[in-house]
Amino acid sequence: MGWRKWGDFRWRLVAWYTLLSGCTLLSFDLYLYFQFRDGLLKQVDRALEVAAIQAIKNIDDEVEVLTFDPRRDAPALAALLDNAGVSVYLLGADGTVKGQFGHLLTSPIEVSVLPGFDTLKRADGRWRVYTQEILAHNNRPSGWIKVVHSLDEVDASSDDLRRQMVLGMPLVLAFVGVGGCFLASRALAPIGQMTQTAQQVRLSGDLTQRIHYQGSQDELGRLAVLFDEMLDSLQQTFEREQRFSADVSHELRTPLTVLKGRIHVALSQSRTADDYRETLEGIEPEVERLIRLSNDLLLLAQLERCSQQWRAEIVDLSDLLAAIAEQVKPLADLKQVHFNTAIAPKLTLLGQPDHLIRLFLNLLDNAIKHTPPQATVTLGACQKSDTIQVTVGDQGPGIAAQHLPHLFERFYRVDADRSRQTGGAGLGLAIAQEVAHLHSGTITVQSQLHQGTGVIVTFPIHGSANQP
């Protein structure tokens, strides 16, 4: 992959990762450096305390005159102090130097009788000093002892560690940067694939492009999978809209062609008023068909986008279905179709009456239209557990299995010629499904050839309608 193909985000990610790692490493190095130096300093302090205790044990103050000569009185102590590189100063109660041992200091030590540890910075280096009070046998202060040790070794070791850290940090950061580039490339691979796929879709308009991600299912992996699913949804929506546009054009072409032909014939020559009246009466069914089609399309758009303002209310479904049954009974009688109802009382749900009326009128209208004379259409409603089921059944010709998955598609008709003769545009079941979904319900069709058709609509009792 070329450097430019990486993109600014990856470089920023690597830069932030390297910067954070560098800050962490610097903090750890500083902590380690100060801990190391403090550890060495504590070792020196412990050595000074031990040297002071041993030196005090060899001080003679019987005649209240402090004397100190380790080489004469304590050769073993002298050897210990020499090997430890320790210088010892003996001070009287007045602060004057009474004795000293060691050759490390090239100039006199500053006289101070403050007890405890101190660090002196001199021209010949840094020195660690430990001062302790000397008590006589009668517990009276008789003087002070100062034990001094050079910090050259401590400073040299600390400087060496600091130098190693300074030299090692760029190497570590370089390794971190290379590792960050590798990790960023691996981690952001799904995003790169999504970007490339999106560019291909934008340039070619081909919605069949997919990532087909097979990596780990982490956040970016799931995002890549969702990206493919989104493209699937977009492709289905686009194809559905294409089919919809083609179907609308096809549905409009027939009545408009009829209208144009009749108008052309009427205008081709002078006619009587009766002839014009006959032409207009022939045009009227096509106009009504166009009005029904436009109304159905508008209702579908409103249901899908929930743009129509409506309020859900408690609906007495039993009374509603009874009123619908009374409304369609004359249509059944006209076709000599037996119409039976079995509606349980006091069925209620949360919904919108006008949409529910449209739903069941569509189903009953389809059932009656496709039922032969002397056959039966049934309307039933009952409560099952926490749902209400409404069934519409007929004894019509039935529907072949290959048509069942497509019944709720817009403009889909099992028998296109027959549907056009009856004025249907293939939108009734699509509208019914949208109304059912809007009421948190489902609609299913069960049918076999020559055995009739049954439509089952299921609603939750007092369910939450999907209000806009």
Q: Residue 309: its pLDDT value, please? A: 57
SS3 456: strand
Q: Are 454 and 447 in contact (CB under 8 A)?
A: yes
- Chain segment 250-280, per-residue pLDDT in tens: 667 777 887 888 888 888 878 788 888 888 8
Integer CA distances (angstroms), 202 to 8, 197, 199, in order = 22, 9, 5
Chain-centre distance of CA 357, in angstroms?
A: 42
Given a cut of 50, whether residue 39 has pLDDT beyond it is yes
219-303, CATH topology level: Helix Hairpins (1.10.287)
User: Any idea which residue has 């179709």 for tokens?
Assistant: 337
- Chain segment 277-333, per-residue pLDDT in tens: 888 888 888 888 788 777 777 777 777 666 445 677 889 999 999 999 999 999 999
29-54: average pLDDT:
90
Q: Domain 311-460 in CATH: superfamily? A: Histidine kinase-like ATPase, C-terminal domain (3.30.565.10)
For the segment(s) 6-165, the CATH number from 3.30.420.40, 3.40.50.1000, 3.30.450.20, 3.40.50.300 is 3.30.450.20
DSSP notation for 180-219: HHHHHHHHTHHHHHHHHHHHHHHHH--TT------S--SH
Dihedral sign (CA 246, 248, 249, 253): positive
Lowest-confidence pick of 54-68, 310-324, 334-348, 439-453:
54-68
Q: Residue 114: its pLDDT value, please? A: 73
Q: Residue 333: its pLDDT value, please? A: 93
pTM of the predicted model over 0.75: no
Characterise 117 by phi-psi region: left (phi > 0), alpha (psi -120 to 50), beta (else). beta
Lowest-confidence pick of 64-78, 124-138, 281-295:
64-78
Q: Residue 425: its pLDDT value, please? A: 62
Q: What is the mean pLDDT of the chain?
A: 81
Domain residue spans in the chain?
6-165, 219-303, 311-460
Contacts of 97 (CB under 8 A, 6+ apart): 89, 90, 91, 108, 111
Contacts of 72 (CB under 8 A, 6+ apart): none
CB 67: neighbour CB atoms within 10 A?
Answer: 15
CA-based angle 325:436:361, to the nearest 5? Answer: 25
Given a cut of 80, whether residue 75 has pLDDT beyond it is no
- Radius of gyration for the chain, computed over Cα atoms and rounded to the nearest angstrom: 50
CB 182: neighbour CB atoms within 10 A?
Answer: 11
- Chain segment 397-423, per-residue pLDDT in tens: 999 888 888 888 877 777 655 444 555
- Chain segment 344-380, per-residue pLDDT in tens: 999 999 888 888 998 999 899 989 999 999 999 999 9
197-216: average pLDDT:
81
Q: Residue 1: its pLDDT value, please? A: 43
Tell me the CB-side half-sphere exposure of residue 161, using CA atoms within 13 A: 16
Closest by CA to 435, choosing from 462, 405, 458, is 458
